[in-house]
Amino acid sequence: MSTPTADLAAAGVSIWLDDLSRTRISSGNLAELISSRNVTGVTTNPTIFANAITNPDDTSYDAQVAELAASGASAEEAVFAATTQDVAAALDVFRPVWEASGHVDGRVSIEVSPDLAHDTAGTVAQAKELWAEIDRPNLLVKIPATKAGLPAIAEAIGAGISVNVTLIFSLERYAEVIDAYLTGLETAKAAGIDISTIQSVASFFVSRVDTETDKRLTAIGTDQALALKSKAGLANARLAYELYEKTFAGDRAKALLAAGANVQRPLWASTGVKDPSLPDTLYVTELVAQGVVNTMPEKTLEATFDHGVVTGDTITGGYDEAREVFAGLAEVGIDFDDVTQVLEDEGVAKFIDSWHDLLAQVREGLEAQR
């Protein structure tokens, strides 16, 4: 049966769900989304786990919290135990997808602590800890694309760990992310690691770019500025795909691919539409190209399944138009480098806040059991 999500899959787009909870796994809902909505992976972040674990209507964590409290676990140890258990269970659900896709899809991501966003050594240590604890070949460890994150990405890849690079907003940083991936592959290959087992995605954020840019365009207020609203996010993502195509067609990447490496797939993140005046499937149907991943909240997934219109490749023919958008933004006075730096800083700060809120509530729950 042809559905918009099936059409996306046919066009080469992998559909991942940007959400996870223990109840979603145990109820069979996750398995149902695989069969009925063509979902082939899951992404998580500290906010998603905070929403799941602290949900007063979800009692699925109560027994584990009580057990951890009795053992004297800290809040950090409890969160580590709960989140790694959920991700391991989800990875098992996706194991058949992983096998059927030739080990490309069927992936679930877990993020290193946001407190480590500017700590290279700490990030590498926790990436290795998560990789060893969860011990599933279809895991992706999520590392933010901060300046400190870049060498951590290269080192984790070099150790044979599959990585989801998150919080990418600018083309310049994306180029550095691809370089870190290739550097890591070269290190792994030199160490005798089978580089065909290493997978990576580069999570390029979309709707947040429009939110910040449109706020600035509205403040400028001219007709020329207002005509550019809701265009930066798609333009930025399309040029990211162009960069991906060019870089992985280069000699350095081709040598690694010939040795068995995988490309680092672009992943569209932040694809839920924040502006109610826009089509609710905008960041899905307008970012279709072979070999991309689109991770979306359930609301966007259901909107896409219900009424998304998939017309084939909506990226590769739009490079010149995307460049025109950026020329227009510069002309009206938008400093896009500042936009992307603000977004990176805010993204890290929001995840740190969610993480600390989660720790505080888990700490409270542990103390109540003691």
CB 271 within 8 A of CB 206: yes
What string of pLDDT tens digits covers the 370 residues of the chain?
A: 689 999 999 999 999 999 999 999 999 999 999 999 999 999 999 889 989 998 888 999 999 989 999 999 999 999 999 999 999 999 999 999 999 999 999 999 999 999 999 999 999 999 999 999 999 999 999 999 999 999 999 999 999 999 999 999 999 999 999 999 999 999 999 999 999 999 999 999 999 999 999 999 999 999 999 999 999 999 999 999 999 999 999 999 999 999 999 999 999 999 999 999 999 999 999 999 999 999 999 999 999 999 999 999 999 999 999 999 999 999 999 999 999 999 999 999 999 999 999 999 999 989 988 7
Long-range contacts: 161-164, Cβ < 8 Å, 24+? 161/127, 161/128, 161/131, 161/198, 162/107, 162/197, 162/198, 162/199, 162/200, 163/127, 163/200, 164/43, 164/107, 164/109, 164/140, 164/200, 164/201, 164/203, 164/267
Q: What's the CATH code of the domain at 239?
A: 3.20.20.70
Identify whether 215 is part of a domain: yes
Identify whether 370 is part of a domain: no
Whole-angstrom distance, CA of residue 38 vs CA of residue 14? 8
Whole-angstrom distance, CA of residue 171 vs CA of residue 169? 7
85: Cα separation from own chain's centroid: 20
Nearest partner of 209 among 230, 187, 240, judged by Cα: 230
Identify whether 282 is part of a domain: yes
Identify whether 125 is part of a domain: yes
Identify whether 166 is part of a domain: yes
Whole-angstrom distance, CA of residue 234 vs CA of residue 85? 36
Q: Compute, in degrees rounded to 10, the torsion defined by CA atoms 217, 286, 101, 93.
A: 60
Name residue 120's amino acid: T
Q: What secondary structure letter does DSSP report for 106?
A: -
Select which of 128, 142, 231, 350 is catalytic: 142
Q: What is the pLDDT, as a whole number, of residue 368?
A: 87
174 is in which domain, residue-wise?
Answer: 4-365
pTM of the predicted protein model = 0.96
Q: What is the pLDDT, as a whole number, of residue 145?
A: 98
Q: What is the pLDDT, as a whole number, of residue 122?
A: 98
* Residue 234, C-beta contacts closer than 8 angstroms, at least 6 positions apart: 206, 282, 283, 286, 287, 318, 322
Length of the chain measured in residues = 370
Q: What is the pLDDT, as a whole number, of residue 50?
A: 87
Burial of 258 (0-12, 13-18, 19+ CB in 10 A): exposed
Strand partners, 41: 16, 107
- Residue 246 catalytic? no
CB 263 within 8 A of CB 236: no
Identify whether 219 is part of a domain: yes
> What beta strand segments (E) does the chain contain?
14-17, 39-42, 107-111, 139-144, 163-168, 200-205, 265-269, 293-296
CB 33 within 8 A of CB 302: no
* DSSP β-ladder status, 14-17 and 39-42: parallel
Tokens, residue 86: 């959920």
Q: What is the pLDDT, as a whole number, of residue 54?
A: 87
Identify whether 33 is part of a domain: yes
How many structural domains are present in the chain?
1
* Residue 188, C-beta contacts closer than 8 angstroms, at least 6 positions apart: 157, 158, 159, 160, 195, 198
Identify whether 217 is part of a domain: yes
CA angle at 66 for the pair 62 and 68, rounded to the nearest 5°: 115
